[in-house]
């Protein structure tokens, strides 16, 4: 991964969207769009889980784009209960002219990516700490990598298993991990990298 993360701004329906961009050393094989946790509870593009996902995708050869949702950092606009947030993710993809991006997200961001995938079929998805307890989350493609912490105190593992069951969607459970994967981020990174092969 190149040393410098650059910042770019994309025009969105609620104003400009601040993005952190990380690129591999060679020409990217595709785009990975990574969405952060809930904006009203401190979620930003600098979240450690989101940064870990970006590193994993750069190592896999993707250009990793991490937008700040509206009202976060230098992104304009105000929180829109998930509606405008999905529109903003869609605006970044349109700006990049990415035909089939990888959609990844953590917590609230994972739920927003699941909603976006209904509009825009992704190359593949990675959803971490998926916020099924707080948001209506539609079914996702069968090859989605779904990762959850065994000791997640924000979104109970049982809720994610219940959501995944009707889809026959496997859940990768990280033993001992909390919602934010404290001291388990290297495990998360390897799950994504190994799951891609």
Question: Quick check: pTM over 0.95?
Answer: yes
- DSSP class of residue 39? G
Q: Is the pLDDT of residue 197 over 90?
A: no
The structural domains of the chain, ordered by start, are: 6-195 (3.40.50.1820)
SS3 106: strand
Per-residue pLDDT of 95-150, as tens digits, reads 999 999 999 999 999 999 999 999 999 999 999 999 999 899 999 999 999 999 99
- Mean of pLDDT over the chain: 96
Distance separating alpha carbons of residues 108 and 36, to the nearest angstrom: 7
Selection from 29, 36, 141 nearest residue 88 by Cα: 36
Instruction: Report how far residue 108's alpha carbon sits from residue 112's, in angstroms, rounded to the nearest whole number.
Output: 6
Whether 145 contacts 171, CB under 8 Å: no
Looking at residue 3, its pLDDT comes to 55
136-139 contacts at long range (C-beta below 8 A, 24 or more positions apart): 137/111, 137/163, 138/114, 139/166, 139/167
Measured CA distances, 130 to 83, 98, 109, 160 (Å): 17, 24, 8, 7
pLDDT in tens, 83-96: 999 999 999 999 99
Q: Running DSSP on this structure, what letter comes out for residue 129?
A: S
Query: What is the per-residue pLDDT for 171?
Result: 98
Q: Which secondary-structure segment (H or E) carries 64?
A: strand 63-67
């Amino acid at each position: 991964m190149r040393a410098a993360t650059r910042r770019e701004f994309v025009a969105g329906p609620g104003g400009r969207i601040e993005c952190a961009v990380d690129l591999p050393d060679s020409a990217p094989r595709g785009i990975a769009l990574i969405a952060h946790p809930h904006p009203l509870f401190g979620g930003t593009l600098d979240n450690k889980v989101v940064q870990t996902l970006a590193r994993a995708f750069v190592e896999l050869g993707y250009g990793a784009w991490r937008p700040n949702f509206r009202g976060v950092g230098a992104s304009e606009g105000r929180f829109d209960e998930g509606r405008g947030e999905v529109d903003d993710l869609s605006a970044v993809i349109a700006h990049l002219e990415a035909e089939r991006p990888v959609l990844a997200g953590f917590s609230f961001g994972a739920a927003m990516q699941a909603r976006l995938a209904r509009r825009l079929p992704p190359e593949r998805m990675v959803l971490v700490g998926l916020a099924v307890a707080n948001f209506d989350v539609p079914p996702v493609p069968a090859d989605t990598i779904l990762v959850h912490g065994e000791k997640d105190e924000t979104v109970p593992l049982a809720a994610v298993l219940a959501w995944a069951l009707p889809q026959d969607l496997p859940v990768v459970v990280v033993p001992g991990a909390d919602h934010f994967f404290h001291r388990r981020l290297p495990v998360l990174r390897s799950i994504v990298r190994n799951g891609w092969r």
